[in-house]
Structure 1
Amino acid sequence: MDFQQSFETINYFAVIVAGLSAFVIGGLWYSVFFAKAWMEENGFDEEKLKNANMAKIFGGSFIFSLIISFVLALFLGPERNAMMGVIAGFMAGLFWVAAAMGITYLFERKSLKLFLINAGYHVVTFMVMGLILGLWK
């Protein structure tokens, strides 16, 4: 892989949009779709969530999302398209991220329900990021 050429072909606006998409998906995933189940499985209540350092959580999450988006763009390469982005995003999300999380969840003895909620978020997020990066070459 020619990394210099790869860096030159990245649409950095698309990387930012793809990174931001993680927040949109996460906002829906963890508030609208799975809020109650996610809180129960983690042992959280409203008070515990209110006392969190939100700047650290959201700031760090955004930086990690940008890193994921940037490296996914490199991984997809200059010949990427929307379908390739979605398929690669699905495969990376399910077979790398979710599988790695699964190993950790087994050792930490976390529930299957929590695993499915969190891994599902990442699979969907990687697919949407791949779509965005594939559309905006």
Structure 2
Amino acid sequence: MAIDINWWGVLLAALSGFVIGGVWYSLLFAKPWQRAAGVADEALQHRALLAFAGTFVLSLVIAAALAAFIGRNGVGFGAAAGAVAGIGWVAAAFGVNALFERRGLAWFAINGGYNAVTFTAMGAIVGAFQTG
């Protein structure tokens, strides 16, 4: 079985994570996230370029994995698959980590919510580009 991946869709999906993250972690939940994660303003400046570069590479990996999974099943399936992955795998795994690390509900809701929204958007974008 051949896996068809539209790399333009993967690139756009990876970039969407930056847009969503920019809104999520600055406009919507900056201070609540910093409190929940224990991250001071000064820490955000330290090695910021490395954090952004690493995030982009990992976003490409996520988008490519979603593309391989979604195939040519379209935008609806892509969004649904992204939502299932974001909620059922990523957010749920974050929940497990949160329980053992004794993180609060705010930490879990902010980070799990970001991943649920981002994976859904990435899946929709990849699905839209891979229709055949």
Aligned residue in 1 for 2:92:
99
The reply on whether 1:109 has 2:102 as its aligned counterpart is yes
Query: In the aligned structure 2, how far is the partner of 1:45 from the partner of 1:99?
Result: 26
Aligned residue in 2 for 1:68:
62
Moved over 4 A (4+): none
Shift of 1:10: 1.1
2:41 aligns with one of 33, 41, 46: 46
Shift of 1:53: 0.3
Query: In the aligned structure 2, how far is the partner of 1:107 from the partner of 1:74?
Result: 32
- 1:9-88 matches, cutoff 5 A: 9-50=4-45, 52-78=46-72, 80-88=73-81
Query: In the aligned structure 2, how far is the partner of 1:63 from the partner of 1:82?
Result: 23
Shift of 1:110: 0.4
Query: In the aligned structure 2, how far is the partner of 1:44 from the partner of 1:57?
Result: 14
Query: In the aligned structure 1, how far is the partner of 2:39 from the partner of 2:83?
Result: 29
Query: In the aligned structure 2, how far is the partner of 1:29 from the partner of 1:15?
Result: 21
TM-score normalized by the length of structure 2 = 0.95
Task: Report the number of matched residues.
Answer: 130
Query: In the aligned structure 2, how far is the partner of 1:122 from the partner of 1:43?
Result: 19
The reply on whether 1:89 has 2:82 as its aligned counterpart is yes
Any conservation in 1 of the 2:71–2:127 contact (CA below 8 Å)? no
Between the aligned residues of both structures, percent identity stands at: 45
Q: Which runs of 5+ in 1 are unaligned?
A: none
Aligned residue in 1 for 2:123:
130
Query: In the aligned structure 2, how far is the partner of 1:10 from the partner of 1:43?
Result: 38
Q: Which runs of 5+ in 2 are unaligned?
A: none
Query: In the aligned structure 1, how far is the partner of 2:94 from the partner of 2:65?
Result: 19
